[in-house]
Structure 1
């Protein structure tokens, strides 16, 4: 085996073993949590959610283990993981079969009420920790999940974790899968990212750091205007009105190219223009660029053909005939007088 291939295989096995270790810790932790559940303290929803998470992680554990064994057949498997998994499934079955599982459970005769409630098929954008996206994320989550009275808190907590990624998820990933953890998770994320001053600064930075217009065409100008509109609306929701702010207008004007800036100045009929005036001008300019580009494409002459067309053959034939009249070859009859050329 070549040295490079051997090195890559060693790196792959190392990465798989690290992943296996992480999954094993999740399975062990869930198994320990399930072991501490009792019929007096656990509800059916809690037990079902923990069972789903346990089965999902154990499936990942088996897949990772098979990959390692396929590369390294001598790998020593840890049988305690499977033992914990089986013991946990037995405990779950015992808890769910116990009629005294919880005092607030629905009667067994009502099977519909015992079915888990599924979220509607709405895609909530994943929150990755950007301050400018927190208000939008938490607003959508509250409307779709938090205010849904059909969902238990434990289910809301489960879905809340699903819509977090990166640092936000790491902040709450170690909370136990309990109903009380839902409120605690909301509080942790809100205290971390609901920083109004930081959010305002981020929106202002996005506006101030917008790329200058060095080459004006319709798509670039549309993107330029879209960024201004987005940040203007976001800042207005934060009670910051930049409509008539001279500093903001000055910064944006300096981002325009010389021709665009000069044309805007010529359109002004007031001494104090507003941001809306500039946006309206840029929208009209973008539309004009789009229309002129489309017109140029329609009036553009077709490319020259490399072959001979019908008119080209006619022209060539006329030129040949004219040459024969003016300079006939010796011994060839004249085409007009039918006499032999001398």
Structure 2
């Protein structure tokens, strides 16, 4: 029994180590354009969650004290994060490659494109429309991502008071829908959004000859007016 347990623990560590190495690989900037290697590594870890759960179950049968539930939960969270990051990166590279191929001839040198940055949302009503539209486009409407993967992206994108809205929810298909519904119910408030953007407009500095102040004023006017136009479209569509 002791030998079997040691073998299971060794197998458990070997499986978890493979995912950790993949996670480290994705964090290296130069690796983020190696689409074929990313695909191959993703295939290599795709079944690791089931494998590690099977090994965990066997360890629990032999010696319950050696089966650490916290470690298993951490592995699950890492698995969903790493696999969803990899899928999003693959889609991002593929989409950009299609655009390049449709606009440039094969004789053009390869262009290194910037990575897509996920939006963040702290709970400010002035941030909501931009966050919502970007998140819908990149994550929510992305059919290549599972709902659990979308849930992890959502939780990693929100912070401060916004994160408190869904902090009680654990990763699951149904909870992703619940989390998104809770956020939209709280922040899809057109009256409050309008009030905050109007207040932001009146808080802008007075015009001056200083170039930096003028740029700040122009940016504030443009961003808040576009947000108000978006709110108006929502009202008309309803």
TM-score (ref. length: structure 2) = 0.52
Structure 1 unaligned spans of 5+: 1-44, 52-82, 93-114, 241-342
Name which of 216, 220, 224 aligns with 2:217: 224
Q: Is the 8 A contact 1:124 1:137 kept in 2?
A: no
Name which of 175, 181, 194 aligns with 2:188: 194
Q: Is the 8 A contact 2:126 2:193 kept in 1?
A: yes
Bigger helix fraction: 2
Q: Distance in 1 between matches of 2:65 and 2:206?
A: 60
Name which of 145, 148, 157 aligns with 2:151: 157
Shift of 1:156: 0.9
Residue equivalent to 1:88: 69
Residue equivalent to 2:200: 206
TM-superposition CA deviations, 1:48-75 (whole Å, max 9, x none): 49x8xxxxxxxxxxxxxxxxxxxxxxxx
Shift of 1:91: 7.8
Shift of 1:157: 0.7
Q: What is the root-mean-square deviation in Å for CA atoms of aligned residues?
A: 3.4
Q: Distance in 2 between matches of 1:208 and 1:225?
A: 13
Change (3 A) 1:151 1:84: farther
Change (3 A) 1:223 1:87: closer
Which has the larger Rg? 1
What does 1:48-87 correspond to in 2, within 5 Å? 48=49, 86-87=67-68
Shift of 1:237: 2.2
TM-superposition CA deviations, 1:61-97 (whole Å, max 9, x none): xxxxxxxxxxxxxxxxxxxxxx8773438989xxxxx
Q: Distance in 2 between matches of 1:90 and 1:226?
A: 47
Structure 2 unaligned spans of 5+: 1-45, 53-63, 74-81, 90-114, 234-238
Q: Is the 8 A contact 2:148 2:172 kept in 1?
A: yes
Residue equivalent to 1:148: 142
Task: Identify which of structures 1 and 2 has the higher relative contact order when contacts are C-alpha pairs closer than 8 Å and 6+ apart.
Answer: 2
Residue equivalent to 1:184: 178
Secondary structure of the corresponding residue to residue 165 of structure 2? helix
TM-superposition CA deviations, 1:187-216 (whole Å, max 9, x none): 111111111110011111111121224x53
Shift of 1:161: 0.5
TM-superposition CA deviations, 1:310-334 (whole Å, max 9, x none): xxxxxxxxxxxxxxxxxxxxxxxxx
Count of residue correspondences: 143
Secondary structure of the corresponding residue to residue 232 of structure 2? coil
